[in-house]
Amino acid sequence: MDEYRAFGGGLGLARAQELGPEQTIQEISLSGLRGRGGAGFRTGRKWDSLRNATGTTKYVVCNAAEGEPGTFKDRTLLRSNPYQVIEGMAVAALTIGAREAFLCLKAKFEREVDIVTKAVAEMEAAGLTGDLTITIVQGPDEYLYGEEKAMLEVIEGKAPLPRLLQPWERGLFAVMPQMGWEMTPPDPEAPLEGLNPDLAGGAEANPTLVNNAETLANIAPILTRGAEWHRSTGTADSPGHVICTVVGDVAHAGVAEIELGMPLAAALDQIGGGPRSGHRVKAVLSGVSNAVVTSDEIDTPLSYEDMARIGSGLGSVGLIVYDEAACMVDVAHSLSRFLYVESCGQCPACKFGTGEVTAYLERLLELRADDRDILTISARLRTVTDGNRCAVPVEEQALISSFLRSFPEEFADHLEGRPCPGRHDLPVPKIDDIVDGEAIFDGRQRFKQPDWTYADQPGRGD
């Protein structure tokens, strides 16, 4: 805390108090900051719509659930500087007009839970959170917990099943969906029948701002040093720096802050020490949300626009590397199984579609598939997103169809029953920790079943 203050901790909040909400939002918008939770949504625009949303009760949520395979940046950030994240929460609350905030991470992140518990207490004691109340939420291990509509459910004490409406349409503790949302403050002269007047927000939607932990850590430096400073690094459409994780077939696993726009290959070299000796990179994934990047695209700059240009995406910049020895059918199967298992089943096309794709990929792996199975995979990938509440099936569609497109010869070999010399049984790179350059993956994931229980044997997916 002393060190944080010595390096200017607290100045971001002071600047926000001086500027007031409108100018704070303007500064964040001018900086071009984009959300680090995966989609790259423009933070200034998000804050502006929350600021202008009608309602007397609003909330701020910091998303530090970090469940996407390949990603370890939020825990690295919280381990090294939790204060900057908390200061970002305080500025966000002041700006949108919230009095209560929730810092959400997983119960199993014991080390980070201790760190943020201590840091919140220190920040409150030092008066660096204003009159904001911050509650630390220790959520479940499920991937969906990190999805913002599911996160609100967990904060309310329920299971991580994404709700229908967006957090700004139906925020925390909003109580009357069956009557439609009352977007104006309730009238004390004519209270709605059956409504407990003591409930926060009454019949309002309680618009809630959800930002990723790294996004919030960017706020204080932007306010103290200015939007232009933030724009002085990175690219025009992806300014600033980002925290990048590298795991898989590299010399060593690692996490580091890099300038946006750095070529992907350079990030693999700098953070991961390049490919393992004597090997070459065949494929890179940025998490499980985007299309696979092949070796001929490896010099693509790590920016939102350049990754989109090659048909992929930056995601949360968790780079998973596979070299020439890895079997791409095996990778496609294990990641499809991950999404199938983690799908909550509220939308039939998602649960059944990811399940069927996984089952047919397994037939391919076992050299017992025929042409119809490939056709079924393609057909399911077209419909898996039907009626979806969240992006899980969109991820399945983007990821698995990209493997079919990029490595057709490996799929053809499996279809024609040719023995595959590639490495199989590759783990889902869901990171528990990175110690001395070695990534420790969650060994329990392969035992997880589609109903979220754990079996004695590794799951087969069908």
Binding mask 63-82 toward ligand FMN (x if CB under 6 A, else -) reads x-xxxx--------------
For residue 48, the partner it binds in ligand SF4, ligand FMN, none, with Cβ less than 5 to 8 A by kind, is none
For residue 393, the partner it binds in ligand FMN, ligand SF4, none, with Cβ less than 5 to 8 A by kind, is ligand SF4
How many other C-beta atoms can be found within 10 angstroms of the C-beta atom of residue 324? 14
Q: Which residues 159-188 are close enough to bind ligand SF4 by CB under 6 A? A: 162
Closer to ligand SF4 at the Cβ: 27 or 147? Answer: 147
Beta bridge partners of 440: 433
**CA-wise closest residue to 317 among 427, 234, 251, 384:** 234
How many other C-beta atoms can be found within 10 angstroms of the C-beta atom of residue 297? 20
Q: Which residues 127-166 are close enough to bind ligand FMN by CB under 6 A? A: 143-144, 146-148
Q: Which residues 25-44 are close enough to bind ligand FMN by CB under 6 A? A: 35-39, 41
Write down the least CB distance from residue 201 to ligand SF4, Å.
25
Contact 89, 78 (CB under 8 A): no
Write down the least CB distance from residue 381 to ligand SF4, Å.
14
Q: Which DSSP letter does residue 53 get?
A: S
CA distance 218 to 199: 34
Closer to ligand SF4 at the Cβ: 73 or 389? Answer: 389
Q: 358: alpha, beta or left, given left = phi > 0 and alpha = psi -120 to 50?
A: alpha
Closer to ligand FMN at the Cβ: 89 or 439? Answer: 89
Closer to ligand SF4 at the Cβ: 14 or 391? Answer: 391
Closer to ligand SF4 at the Cβ: 348 or 417? Answer: 348
Closer to ligand FMN at the Cβ: 248 or 318? Answer: 318
**CA-wise closest residue to 361 among 289, 319, 311, 424:** 424
Q: Applying CB under 6 A, does 210 fall inside the site for ligand FMN? A: yes
Binding-site member from 154, 174, 219, 344 for ligand SF4 (CB under 6 A): 344
Q: Applying CB under 6 A, does 392 fall inside the site for ligand FMN? A: yes
H or E element that contains 276 = none
Q: Applying CB under 6 A, does 350 fall inside the site for ligand SF4? A: yes
Distances (CA, A) of 82 to 32, 79, 242, 443: 23, 7, 16, 28
Q: Which residues, in sequence order, are CB contacts of 331 under 8 Å at separation 6+?
A: 283, 322, 403, 426
CA distance 62 to 148: 10
Distances (CA, A) of 213 to 44, 84, 85, 116, 257: 16, 9, 6, 12, 14
Write down the least CB distance from residue 428 to ligand SF4, Å.
16
For residue 346, the partner it binds in ligand SF4, ligand FMN, none, with Cβ less than 5 to 8 A by kind, is ligand SF4
Q: Which residues form the interface with ligand SF4 (CB under 6 A)?
A: 144, 162, 343-347, 350-351, 388-390, 392-393
Q: Which residues form the interface with ligand FMN (CB under 6 A)?
A: 35-39, 41, 46, 63, 65-68, 143-144, 146-148, 210-212, 215, 390-392
